[in-house]
Structure 1
Amino acid sequence: MKRIAVDRRAVRWHEGTGIARYRAGLADALTRLPLAVEPIGDGGDAAARAGWRDVPRMLHGRSAATCAEPGWLVPDLYRLAQRRFTATGALTTLTLPDPPAIVHWSHPMPLQVAGAANLYTVHDLIPLTHPDLTGIAPRRHRRLLERLAGVAAQFVTVSESVRADLRARLSLTEDQVSCCFQAVDPGPLGILPAGLIAGGYLLAVGRVESRKNIEALLDAHRRAATGLPLVIAGPEGHWRSASERGRTHARMDGPDVIRLGWQDNATVAALIAGARALLMPSLAEGFGLPVVEAMALGVPALASATGAAAEIAGDGALLVDPHDHSALADAIRRISSDVPLRTRLIAQGHERAAQFTAESFAARLAALYERFW
């Protein structure tokens, strides 16, 4: 049977947002393909006090004591590789006794496996395109991508927008970058948090940070005066400044806003399914997972009219300029109460979401992998 390795996080992380959800979708897609899947990488924190120079001697193969499946583990590998890259600018190369044909890293890691086709998923280029909207150091991130470009058999992106940006910024050829999108499965619905009634609130979900345009959303929501509270659910993220964070949090302190922290996947799915509409006028995205989840669950969604969010939403969401507060307020009013608009968005959203099923993601991956056997 053909063999492929994935970083171990791809087979054990199933809760969370962003990359964690991609990893879960990747793990599921691989079970749908006739492949022997072997985890590679982090075996835990046994080497927490070790240095990156110890990586080669810690490599061991197929240890049933630490992994129920065939694979290769290095304790604390990811942290050590990151430390080495920060210190030296060099990638960590793993030499395995019997390497698989393909290693699919679920995001840009400073790692490669000798003798295998190394594929790296790039979720966004926000550190390069909007460095003020992320806590990731742009110079280091660009240096990492440039190093990986020298060894990667392929970069894999989650949208055509990211694919185009990556090609342009690293001067890559068309054949060096593939867009496979990602699988979207809202999963089983949990229980709505106490006090919320299905259809009785608007929802913003994801990290609460500058990139999500929360301040503009709060302003537009109050201008819209829909009578529906705005639920903001998600962990704290990166803010451009302490003053922006303080100002935004002060605006969230009111009877028309309900602030929820991190929620598990089932509760997030329930929140989306129960919302009158999902609102996501973010300033930068690599994909825009909540919008597709809303479309899959039959909930009208509002998204930014630019970048990857607009590409992924297509005609399945109401698109608006995230910088135009008046237009955003009008869009919130319409998506809350315009029945013909809501009906159209629900129907078109279902159709659009069908392009991001687990089956379609697995088929795109299979076509990509076929190039490297």
Structure 2
Amino acid sequence: MAGAALCLDLTRLLSRVGLGPLTGVDRVERAYADWVLAVDPDPRFLVRTSRGYLICGADGARAFLQALDAGGPWGKPDFLSRLTGKAANPRHAGEALLRRHALARCLPGGLLPRLSDHLREDTVYLNTGHSNLSEHTLAAVQALPDLRAAVFIHDLIPLEHPEYSSPGFPAHFAQMLTQVMTRADLILCNSQDTAERLRGRFVDAPPVLPAHLGVPAPARPEPLAFDKDVPRFVALGTIEPRKNHALLLDVWEKLPEATRPHLHIVGRRGWADAALLDRLDSHPLRNIAIFEHEGLSDGQVRTLLTGAHGLLFPTHAEGFGLPAVEAAQLGTLPICADLPVLREILGDYAVYLDPLNAYSWMETIKKRSAVSLAAESVAEFRVPTWAEHFRTVEAALWPGRQ
């Protein structure tokens, strides 16, 4: 786009180096990186590292993203990595790569002059990952009169459901959000539901722009060993209390053994109470009718979802609900918690159930297991695209430009 001047914060993606497949929030920042590289001929990228801040250009961002997508190689450790004894740490390997490509480096106290030196007039600072949203960073951006800040808020779950966050995080999130609402010029979010929650909580909020997230084309199927002759359901997402895996374990214990389908739990173990993880590890149906998968590729997830009798999503709270959208894209029925945001995104395509009512889930799963997928007529789901998302964002950032 003519006249686009952008600086994208990549701190979130740096923090994910070495931690396996990208999460939903990570994927948003990754999509924004591609968009920035496409629309701005001379973009800038800000990263907060363990040793201060880096500013990179397009070449540095491309080198970092290529290594991130491929899982390496990151190149030889630099002097600073060796000096701190962290050369073998994946994140520090990512930092070393970025330092090799940096246009500028500074300790926190030098951020404002470095931004002034390296960002063009009318630059928009974009932060889409809930990372590096400190008072120090946002104040430095706000201090430059020709800069604007657009921040993506994915959800308000730590404030609305603190019981589903790790100890201390709700207070940190509240502080971060206060800084954003005070210093940002535009708030981006993933749904009308999230936008309404933000406006209701912050009456003096800057403009809030809802724009549904895009879903890329499905990955190519990749081999994965599992029993294809037994009806299967998939639960996709980080294993944590908010996702309500406990309900699914309850249901599988009560399903009749003779007709019990398989449950495939896909996702890394996040913040979760020890009792849930112990129960999953020691469950009598583990590796018999309940299977846990961590670190699957996108292609393997597609293989597992394609032909499944449903995607089970009994989550207590969501900002968007990407797993359900990805399932719908593949023609797999999402069976979801009855949340406003999921109805907004999925409409009539999903089945909605009370996430506290295990009986309704059990009965739905029993009936669904008996359905012949070959004879089923599946309505086509209109998949939201990144092109639509970015058209909405561009119109808000640069009104009237073509």
Instruction: Please state which band the TM-score falls in when normalised by the shorter chain.
Output: 0.7 to 0.9
The 3 A distance-change label for structure 1 pair 372 and 9 is farther
The 1:142/1:60 distance shift into structure 2, 3 A limit, reads closer
Q: Deviation digits for residues 261-286 of structure 1, max 9, x if unmatched? A: 12222222322224221111111111
Decide which of 7, 31, 44 is 2:9's aligned counterpart.
7
Count of equivalent residues: 343
Give the AA of the match of 1:369.
Answer: L
Aligned-residue sequence identity (percent) comes to 23
One-letter code of the match for 1:16?
Answer: L
| TM-score calculated relative to the size of structure 1 | 0.79
1:158/1:180 contact within 8 Å kept: yes
Q: Does 1:105 align with 2:105?
A: no
C-alpha contact 1:120 1:152 (8 A) present in aligned 2:
yes
Query: Does the Cα contact within 8 Å between 2:337 and 2:355 map onto a contact in 1?
Result: yes
Superposed displacement of residue 19, structure 1:
1.0
User: Which of 370, 385, 393 is equivalent to 1:365?
Assistant: 393
Residue 182 of structure 1 pairs with residue 213 of structure 2 = yes
Q: Say which is worse superposed, 217-226 or 325-334, in terms of deviation.
A: 217-226
Gaps of 5+ in 2: 65-100
Where do 1:196-275 residues align within 5 Å? Answer: 196-197=227-228, 200-225=231-256, 226-239=259-272, 241-251=273-283, 253-254=285-286, 255-275=288-308
Question: Retained in 2: the 8 A contact 1:202–1:276?
Answer: yes
- Does the CA contact (< 8 Å) of 1:5 and 1:39 recur in 2? yes
Counterpart contact for 1:10–1:26, Cα < 8 Å: no
Say if 1:219 and 1:67 are closer, same or farther in 2 by CA, change over 3 A: closer
Q: Which residue number corresponds to residue 310 of structure 1?
A: 343
Matched with 1:131 is 162
Which residue of the other structure, out of 22, 27, 34, is the alignment partner of 1:16?
22
TM-score with structure 2 length normalisation? 0.74
Q: Please say if residues 26 and 183 of structure 1, whose CA atoms lie closer than 8 Å, have aligned partners that are also in contact.
A: no
Aligned-partner Cα distance in 1 for 2:104–2:337: 41
- Answering whether residue 337 of structure 2 is matched by residue 332 of structure 1, we say no
What is the one-letter code of the residue matched to 2:5? R
Counterpart pick for 2:195 among 163, 181, 184: 163
- Looking at structure 1, the residues matched to 44 and 229 of structure 2 have their Cα atoms a distance apart, in angstroms, of 41
Matches of 1:66 and 1:24 in 2, distance apart? 11
Which residue, out of 177, 180, 189, partners 1:145?
177
Whether 1:38 aligns to 2:43 is yes
Aligned to 1:95: 115
The equivalent of 2:381 in structure 1 is: 351
Separation in 2 of the partners of 1:37 and 1:95?
Answer: 15
Deviation per CA, 1:2-30: give whole Å up to 9, x if none: 21121135888794122111122323444
RMSD, matched Cα = 3.5
Q: Is the contact made by 1:8 and 1:39 (CA closer than 8 Å) also made in structure 2?
A: no
Instruction: Note the C-alpha offset of 1:216.
Output: 0.4
Give the superposition deviation at 1:234: 0.9
SS in structure 1 at match of 2:5: strand
Q: Distance in 2 between matches of 1:121 and 1:169?
A: 16
Inter-partner Cα distance in structure 1 for 2:147 and 2:400? 9
1:207 match: secondary structure: coil
